[in-house]
Amino acid sequence: MRIAVVQLAYGDDESFEARVDRVTALVAGLSGHDLVVLPELWGATGFDYGRWAERAQPLDGPWARAMADAARSAGVTMHAGSFVERLPEAGADGNDLANTSLLLGADGRLLASYRKIHRFGFGAGEPALMEAGDEVVVTGIPDGGGGTVQVGLSTCYDLRFPELYRRQLDAGAELFVVPAAWPAARVAHWTLLGRARAVENQCVLVQCNTAGTHAGYEMGGHSQVVTAAGEVLVEAPAPADDGSADPARAGERVLSVEVDLEATTAYRDSFPVLADRRL
């Protein structure tokens, strides 16, 4: 299965519309991949809480349609990253926004959506403005070889909560996809926790982070793809190391990697640690 991880970099200077156009053009060049993955809240601007409400859209709004068109034109299954969803009505916490990611088929059809369960911000940002998701999402997508692979969806801060990934494993997940806007200040946790989630669940893990600097936060980059045995197949370098003249946009890159899904089954059979779980 050939996977493209699109680590986007953006600053505060780029409009929502310009960024959507730029990403659409980028995705058009990724035909031939079996899965394309974009990061968290890349259109709405991850940490720019004050702009979320004006950039919120319904599940079938213009952003979702633009992403469906991009997937269809490129002929790729696409995890479009997440956006600020305007909910049909306020939820239990009185908010009408959610951090929602979309998984789209190569024909542009919506295969699955996932609302981030663990809200980041310790009272500000997501917990103050957004409702928490309450659904574990695992869904089948084409594996590029005529079969299907079961994909578990989560977002950024979710990575700190191992029980979510166990729930996904128990629902059949073989591959985890994690879009993020994870800051540089804690990027060592991002790579460590990603490897841990892959190893403890014997699942392939695809992490797509943001780069650049926006709303005063330097993003961490270091997107990576990890095998079920914990081997890092590919990892983006630190954004600061890419030699870019513009630090606000440093670190943008596309990782293209071939993942052998049969190796997951073989590894689980040869080292059946999950059969020793005691609940």
Ligand X SMILES: O=C(O)CCC(=O)C(=O)O
**What is the Cα–Cα distance from 247 to 64, expressed in whole angstroms?**
29
Q: Taking the complex as a whole, how short is the minimal distance between the CB of residue 178 and ligand X, in angstroms?
A: 10
Q: Taking the complex as a whole, how short is the minimal distance between the CB of residue 76 and ligand X, in angstroms?
A: 26
Of 88 and 122, CB closest to ligand X: 122
Q: Taking the complex as a whole, how short is the minimal distance between the CB of residue 156 and ligand X, in angstroms?
A: 3
Q: Taking the complex as a whole, how short is the minimal distance between the CB of residue 190 and ligand X, in angstroms?
A: 7
Torsion angle (degrees, nearest 10) of CA 144, 202, 116, 112? 30
85 is catalytic: no
Q: Which residues contact ligand X by CB under 6 A? A: 120, 156-157, 160, 181-183, 186, 189
| Residue of 131, 156, 174, 203 marked catalytic | 156
**What is the Cα–Cα distance from 144 to 262, expressed in whole angstroms?**
12
Strand 253-258 versus strand 148-153 pairing type: unpaired
Of 42 and 157, CB closest to ligand X: 157
The DSSP line for 170-203 is HTT-SEEEEE---BGGGHHHHHHHHHHHHHHHT-
**What is the Cα–Cα distance from 251 to 152, expressed in whole angstroms?**
26
Of 65 and 186, CB closest to ligand X: 186
Using Cβ positions, the residue closest to ligand X within the complex turns out to be 157
252 is catalytic: no
- Active-site annotation, residues: 40, 116, 156
